[in-house]
Chain A
């Protein structure tokens, strides 16, 4: 009997990974993104950062909440991160008063309100700041970020 119990216990442990649906899966990739974004936001603004993410998911709220003060309304935010293709900022969100950041390179190029983007290119993390938009928003980044600053017409 004892042997049977022991075997059952060993079998259960070996299959333990299958039971992780019982708990919320923690997203390590999201945590990395949040950490990088936190560094970028802190470097970009001297003001205390209050983050707004449109259509934020509970997991995102949990992960980003570890690095930022979150707000559910854009008007209370100082930093807006749009990380979903379909998401847009509310009309009340005045781009001149807030810093806009995205996770899409094409959106960065297309939309003037974004000063930079953090995205995955060829499965590698990439950061891009556009020089003229930094100037527009009067953002001065530390020298360590200079390698990520881009002119639009580069050769």
Chain B
């Protein structure tokens, strides 16, 4: 199903999970970093006052000591001094400060106790060593400023705070140390853990909410999509059209309204179940013939469908061809009404090729509906293209709608121009030239017909019409040889080939038809074109390469397709008398043709002077106003 809302749910959910996962990971990383910062800040906040007190205590201890004597010896030799210091230290002990003690570093670098405020059971002895593993203890002697040491591997301690006591304000003599119990940090961590859990829960709720929101959005879109799909035909329904028309860019689309002909009769005759089956099949045919990404198919109601076909810059004719393909596909489809029976169903289509000229979708739709009305009025089973001002193109090119109308109304005709065999002076062939009689009776030439329908199915229809006229003319005139012009796309079109194959089965028809093909890039590069030309030649048709000498003049290709005639381009022949280059070009073509055993026709032989030059060059066939102007009948 072509859809503006179509998506692969599983793929979207995987992408969604990845996005949610990534957001969660980022949030978690941010939370961990935040936790670290909060912890550091809280430790700093809760210990900064204590640190000041310890520093003051160190100053007080230093004031007890004589600066002129060794601090260590003073304490070691004076138990009263040691007791006084321990009294200072004991003031520092709290529920969180587990130990407060005074150390010195001996000559071996071992730290030893001088005073300890711990209770007797834990109290260190004088000069008892303390094994320290952290190198920062020694760094204190270098930096001479207080420092903090975190204990990540000790079971009972979290932080130590060391304050150096300087002697003579130069050398570190003593170290006042306090150890914070683990409870301090545990309390902080409890708060942080609570904050972290709260944050993570909040994040989880946000993520969950976000996830639910997206899932609900996806479910809403799916539900909305279901509301837009017609259950019977699996194409969009009218609800979608109402939604779509608000934002559709009419510049991008051509619009067609399709109605199944005599659908009520089908329902009445075969029952609604058959009617439903036909509706489903018609919808399926429409979907098969439209582009999934570019076109939008809507069941407008009952047996009416709306098709919006995207107009592409590089293929402006695509929408019209799609509409025609849908039309012919339905026309040629056998619709089952029972296991053994089928019926043919036709449709009428109204096309608006320029919805952008309307003020809105509703107006554009009305014009397509008007065209549909005309199609029904003309007897159904047809495509009607809406034209704004049908009579405003009198002196310019015809529109597709006008040409289509001309085909349907039988106003496509052929004029015939003689091709003369120069040596005998007798008419050897006629070239059938396309003409349209407009609604005022004026004759319209191909230059005003072909540009509008180039690349569309209308061109093919007009070729078929010309072939039918030629066939009828040949039947009426058994001795007549007729040339008909084919476009490159006609050569590769199955319906044209089928028609030519059908004519070839009749006696003495293909042998009297010359197919004039303009040598072009399309013809040369399409392998099927070359194959089809050889097939037509084998069926008895005579091949003419038209307008040779301009554009693609591929001599090798001529031999490959085994053409019977080449028609030298009229623009060269026109100037053959005065222009030496043109004369030289014609001479080389003629020489090549003689070598390759190909007949040459000179076009645009408009006077005796040109004719004499043509004859002097050995060109056997000539065509132009010198002999006759195109006439409505070859007789």
Contact = CB atoms under 8 A, between A and B. Distances in A.
Given A147-B110, A154-B112, A155-B106, A122 B99 contact: yes
B interface SS class: loop
Given A154-B106, A154-B112, A123 B155 contact: yes
Given A105-B125, A121-B124, A155-B106, A126 B131 contact: yes
Contact of A148 (B72, B107, B131): B131
B143 interface: no
Contacts of A123: 98-99, 154-157, 179
Nearest to B155: A29
Contact of A122 (B107, B112, B124, B155): B124
Interface string B61-89: 00000000000100010000000000000
Given A29-B155, A154-B106, A122 B129 contact: no
Given A29-B155, A154-B106, A155-B106, A124 B130 contact: yes
Interface string A115-128: 00000011111111
A130 to B, nearest CB: 12
Nearest to A105: B128
Contacts of A127: 131
Interface size class of B (residues with CB under 8 A): 20 to 34
B556 interface: no
Nearest to A123: B156
Contacts of B128: 105, 121
A122 B101 contact: yes
Interface in B107-144: 107-108, 110, 112, 118, 122, 124-125, 127-133
A127 B110 CA distance: 12
Nearest to A155: B106
A124 B132 contact: yes
Interface string A91-115: 0000000000000011001000000
B503 to A, nearest CB: 77
Contacts of A105: 125, 128
Contacts of B110: 147
Contacts of B108: 147
Interface size class of A (residues with CB under 8 A): 10 to 19
Given A123-B98, A123-B179, A128 B157 contact: no
Interface string A130-155: 00000000000000000110100011
Nearest to A127: B131
B129 A126 contact: yes
A106 B121 CA distance: 10
Given A29-B155, A105-B125, A124 B131 contact: yes
A81 B522 CA distance: 104
Nearest to A126: B131
B130 A126 contact: yes
B539 to A, nearest CB: 77
A128 B129 contact: yes
A149 to B, nearest CB: 10
B115 to A, nearest CB: 13
Given A122-B99, A123-B156, A150 B129 contact: yes
A28 to B, nearest CB: 9
Interface string B394-425: 00000000000000000000000000000000
A105 B131 CA distance: 13
Nearest to A147: B110
Nearest to B110: A147
B413 to A, nearest CB: 82
Interface in A26-52: 29
B561 to A, nearest CB: 77
Given A29-B155, A105-B125, A154-B112, A121 B106 contact: no
A105 B98 CA distance: 20
Contacts of A109: 125
A38 B14 CA distance: 56
A148 B72 CA distance: 21
Contact of B127 (A106, A124, A154): A154
B448 to A, nearest CB: 78
Contacts of B154: 123-124
A125 B131 contact: yes
Contacts of B106: 154-155
Given A121-B130, A150-B129, 13 more contacts: A29-B155, A121-B124, A121-B131, A122-B99, A122-B124, A122-B130, A122-B179, A123-B99, A123-B157, A124-B130, A124-B132, A124-B133, A147-B108
Interface of A: 29, 105-106, 109, 121-128, 147-148, 150, 154-155
6 contacts: A105-B128, A123-B99, A124-B133, A147-B108, A155-B72, A155-B106
